[in-house]
Amino acid sequence: MRRLVLLSTLLALPALAQDLELPTLSPRAEVKQQVGVTWVTVNYSSPGVKGRTVYGELVPFGTLWRTGANGATTIELSGDATIGGQAVPAGKYAIFTIPGQTEWTVIINKNPNQGGTGSYDQKLDQARFTAKPEAVPTRERLTFLFSDTTDAAASLDLDWAGTRVRLPITVATAANAKANIGDFSKKSSRALANAARYLADDAKDVDGALKLIDSSLAVDVTWFNTWLKADFLARKGDKKAALALAEKAYALGKDDKGFFYKDRVEKALKDWK
């Protein structure tokens, strides 16, 4: 009986261990900032000073550092950016540093899945630049924070143990916003075209479909919405105007791999003459 009780207790220990939560030595942290239309997210583990001399001892000068504790600190960009004056495409990266008394080297590495410095490969560096450390009021735990944020720039600050190092980040907000507007316009044009097709085919409202397709064409001219207007006009009996638009639709779509109405347009070009 005692053996059975002991065995039951041992089997229950893993489950109990999973339910036990204790403070970690270097708690996880995340900081996130939107710069224009780009999101910048930093994930890291935050060690404490705990009465130790950090820079020069716990973190030796001139030695590659994971810039935190546990796994490598990561930075993730939702769009292309410039960090420390160097181009960093959208994606997720590891942040490494080489601290120095008067100058730090900051490294943005393409491999974000690293446990520390043991797997670091310099050939995977996306960016490498230098930064000057600043003396600031001491902070017990390593902390990343954003400062001086504008629509097109921000400073990612590493702050710990009386030292701050700034990583300047800039993004092409105006160009990104313009590209987003273009993408939105194309999507709205297609949505209006699909709505027009529904009105004509399912609701049998060709006049309403013509109004919608004109709205679609006002946003963006494609073979698809051009052909739909040709089709609608043909249904209204205006074959002459429909033929001109079908010819334009064919010219726009003939080199498009997504020209899924090619056969229908070719047939119309013959029938409407």
| Highest CATH level, class, for 175-271 | mainly alpha
- For tokens 């489950």, the residue is 15
Q: Could you read off the pLDDT of 70-98 as tens digits, one per residue?
A: 989 999 999 999 999 999 999 999 999 99
Rounded-to-integer distance, Cα 215 and Cα 209, Å: 10
The pLDDT profile of the chain, 273 residues, written as one tens digit per residue, is: 555 555 555 555 565 556 888 888 899 999 999 999 999 999 999 999 999 999 999 999 999 999 999 989 999 999 999 999 999 999 999 999 999 999 999 999 999 999 889 999 999 999 999 999 999 999 999 999 999 999 999 999 999 999 999 999 999 999 999 999 999 999 999 999 999 999 999 999 999 999 999 999 999 999 999 999 999 999 999 999 999 999 999 999 999 999 999 999 999 999 998
d(CA 135, CA 229): 67
Going through the chain in order, the beta strands assigned E by DSSP cover: 28-35, 38-45, 73-77, 81-83, 86-88, 91-98, 104-109, 125-131, 134-135, 143-147, 153-160, 163-170
CB 81 within 8 A of CB 88: yes
CATH 1.25.40.10 intervals, the chain: 175-271
Confidence (pLDDT) at 208? 96
Task: Provide the Cα torsion 81, 90, 36, 215; round to 10°.
Answer: 130
> Nearest-CA neighbor of 60 among 103, 100, 105, 106?
100
Residue 181 DSSP code: H
Whole-number pLDDT of residue 77: 98
Q: Would you state the pLDDT for residue 116?
A: 84
Output the pLDDT for position 24.
86
